[in-house]
Amino acid sequence: MKAIVIGAGIVGSGVAYRLAEAGVEVTILEADRVGGGTSGISFAWTNSHGKEPRHYHDLNVAGMKAHAALAEEFPGQTWFHPSGSVAWRKTPQDREAMTRNFERLKSWGYAIEWIDRKRLAELEPDIDIDRVGDAIITYCPQEGYVDPVVYADAMVKAAQKRGAKLKTGVKVVDVETRNGNVTGVKGEDGSRHEADIVVNCAGRWAARVAQEPGLKLPLAPTTGFIVFTPPVATSVKHLVHAPDIHFRPDGAGRLMVRTNAADDLVSLDMTPSPTMPQAVEIMRRAAEVIPALKTVKAEAARITARPIPQDGLSAVGPTPRVNGYYFVVTHSGVTLSPFLAKAVTDEIVHNKTRPELENFRPSRFFN
């Protein structure tokens, strides 16, 4: 069996690895570079903290477990950081929402616990604990974060070890079919690539790789904005979700910082800069939580879009129109990648229908 995987982000690289491991002759076609899409600008928090409905929550929990298993499969790996997360909320409205979420997650068997200020200060000694005040605080020990580009590189190399080919600089512009079966894809440079199976892992560009309307997945991407600090003298270890600011370690003492509010104030046509007002405001908020950041300026800012299928849920599986053409397109792709890679491989190679994917079929968009 010959398969083409379009896109070498965190999703496509994982799929390519599992397909190659299962004996498929895999070619990865990547328009730009490995991990150069959304995966390279992601908060990359492995979690199922606010994922509803239940089947989407379960899918994300499966992703979290798959990350832990994958880390064991690759001893010495450097991409997975099962750090745990802390969060606190202060206003009556926020407390009520947090308590509701806590109860839902607990009843679904999720690892979440209430902790007190003393424990928070032990976990994150650099937080200004006075500002936390009498907030209610949660700790999720099984959450973590991933370095998506490191992961993608490792998966591509693991796939290559099993015979896969990586072709960068090949932008797929059409999917070719004959008698209702996929036969391959066409590159912008006129190149043709034959395959029995084509897996579209092109993320937010997924609707652009085929020309026929019946093969275009409807997407509703949202913009994301992330700020990066220079290396700073703090010991932040967890994902930290304060009321108006989210941050986590990003290697070598750097922090990755974001807010939901700033996402609404940027667009893809802006040139991101660490001096733009949105970045300055993010750093101001971060310094309120970690006083050591008071004189620290952002070092970089990046803008990208989340690859979200139109109804907000993952799109995973075959298209109803053409045999052999699959989508694996999703938000939370960092959390989900290792699970989806295995599940999709089971379906494509082993002809085994995975019930976990039943609620996420792309066919819901094409009927």
Ligand X SMILES: Cc1cc2nc3c(=O)[nH]c(=O)nc-3n(C[C@H](O)[C@H](O)[C@H](O)COP(=O)(O)OP(=O)(O)OC[C@H]3O[C@@H](n4cnc5c(N)ncnc54)[C@H](O)[C@@H]3O)c2cc1C
Q: Applying CB under 6 A, which residues contact ligand X?
A: 6-12, 29-32, 36-39, 41-45, 148, 171-172, 201-205, 208-209, 224, 226, 304, 306-307, 330-335
- In the bound complex, what is the minimum distance in angstroms from residue 119's beta carbon to ligand X? 24
Q: Which residues contact 338 (CB under 8 A, 6 or more apart)?
A: 14, 63, 66, 67, 69, 70
> Is the Cβ of residue 131 or residue 216 nearer to ligand X in the bound state?
216
CB 11 within 8 A of CB 328: yes
Among 203, 226, 222, 262, which residue's Cα sits nearest to residue 43?
A: 226
User: DSSP H helical segments within the chain, as ranges?
Assistant: 10-21, 54-73, 92-107, 117-123, 129-132, 148-161, 260-263, 277-289, 333-350
- In the bound complex, what is the minimum distance in angstroms from residue 233's beta carbon to ligand X? 25
DSSP secondary structure code for residue 49 in this structure = S
- In the bound complex, what is the minimum distance in angstroms from residue 359's beta carbon to ligand X? 18
> Is the Cβ of residue 38 or residue 101 nearer to ligand X in the bound state?
38
- In the bound complex, what is the minimum distance in angstroms from residue 79's beta carbon to ligand X? 13
- In the bound complex, what is the minimum distance in angstroms from residue 134's beta carbon to ligand X? 28
Angle between helix axes 54-73 and 333-350 (nearest 10 degrees) is 80
> Is the Cβ of residue 98 or residue 219 nearer to ligand X in the bound state?
219
> Is the Cβ of residue 292 or residue 300 nearer to ligand X in the bound state?
300
> Is the Cβ of residue 292 or residue 310 nearer to ligand X in the bound state?
310
Return left, alpha or beta for 317; rule: phi > 0 is left, psi -120 to 50 is alpha, else beta: left
- In the bound complex, what is the minimum distance in angstroms from residue 63's beta carbon to ligand X? 7
CA distance 311 to 101: 22
> Is the Cβ of residue 7 or residue 318 nearer to ligand X in the bound state?
7
Cα four-point dihedral sign 41, 317, 199, 73 = positive
- In the bound complex, what is the minimum distance in angstroms from residue 263's beta carbon to ligand X? 7
**What single-letter amino acid sits at 304?**
T
The SS3 assignment for 29 reads strand
> Is the Cβ of residue 125 or residue 214 nearer to ligand X in the bound state?
214
